[in-house]
Chains A and B, each alone.
Chain A
Amino acid sequence: MSGVVPEERRDRGTGARVGVVTFPGSLDDRDAARAVRLSGAEPVSLWHDEAALRSVDAVILPGGFSYGDYLRCGAIARFSEVMGLIADAAKSGLPVLGVCNGFQVLCESHLLPGALVRNAHLRYRNRPARMRVETAKTAWTRAYGEGAEVVFPAKHGEGRYVADEATLDELESAGRVVFRYLDNPNGAMRDIAGVCNEAGNVVGLMPHPEHAVEALTGPSTDGLGVVASVLAHLNEGAVR
């Protein structure tokens, strides 16, 4: 950890370092890094077998097919070197966002409740997904108005969120359903597209905010709010 600027003096926000993990089979790591850069922060590449988090202020687990989706989506990535560090850091407040396969990794790691299983209709779903931001009280959604509608591309075959009824009730009553589909694309229970942990620093969702950051290539630029949220979250931490 030599040469690390003391946390309280680091210029957060625009100077924030956001780690993007690459597992064997990750696909959206470059888009995630681009979204971070467009939002004015510095993307930091983290390799799956890296035993250091390189003093990042937040981490994004991108989409793709880590370890070929073998066994279950995200099941093998859970035991990668870098995930052990991320799990520990998440428990002490590091903001972590899992998108698509990253969400599956977070569920498999038990950092988020529930699981993501085969789409109910068995088809791979590839289209923009309309969602409602159900809570702005997470590290990754605070820049959105509560109840805001956003459109992110969805592209997955195993995106159907499931959990037992007690867990679903708990998520609902604690305000931990973060994104909810307006047109459920996969049969997810209670139209859940994304959830967070109790502290709100770990968020996972199936649709891809990092593909919705430029009008040229995305269905919207709504995804910029995700990185903007974590930068605001980090800035507030620096002020406190």
Chain B
Amino acid sequence: MARVVVDVMLKPEILDPQGEAVLGALPRIGVNGVSSVRIGRRVELDFDDDATDLERQTRIIADKLLANPVIEDFHISVAAEDAA
């Protein structure tokens, strides 16, 4: 089984009200000095052992479904073979 991870983040210019809300809560737990919080999504894909072309296939999945290119960027990382 090969694991590929896709991180999806809102583009920098898109307002992230969720991140803003978390940022606003930080002083209440006694943490200061954080200037920005951005919240994204991590997607883990487990491919079958005999699957090939993982990166290309993941790119298709990320581009067509996992991320909306109008508002989001994505980053693909293929995990090391026996990371688990």
Contacts and interface: CB of A to CB of B under 8 A. Distances in A.
Nearest to B10: A117
Contacts of B21: 122
A70 to B, nearest CB: 11
B71 A162 contact: yes
Contacts of B17: 118-122
Contact of A108 (B14, B15, B18, B68): B68
B70 A120 contact: no
A79 to B, nearest CB: 7
A72 interface: yes
A99 interface: no
B18 A122 contact: yes
Interface string B32-61: 000000000000000000000000000000
Interface in A159-189: 160, 162-164, 187
Majority SS at the chain A contact face: loop
Contacts of A71: 65-66
Contact of A117 (B14, B65, B66): B14
Nearest to A119: B17
A208 B71 CA distance: 24
A18 interface: no
A154 interface: no
A41 interface: no
A232 B21 CA distance: 47
Contact of A115 (B15, B18, B65, B68): B68
Contacts of B13: 164
Contacts of A117: 10, 14-15, 71
A107 interface: yes
Of the candidates B10, B14, B70, the one having the most CB atoms from chain A within 10 angstroms of its own CB is B70
Interface string B8-36: 00100111011001000000000000000
A75 B65 CA distance: 7
Interface string A102-132: 0000011000011101111110000000000
11 contacts: A71-B65, A71-B66, A75-B65, A115-B70, A117-B15, A120-B15, A122-B17, A122-B21, A160-B15, A162-B70, A164-B70
Interface of B: 10, 13-15, 17-18, 21, 65-66, 68, 70-71
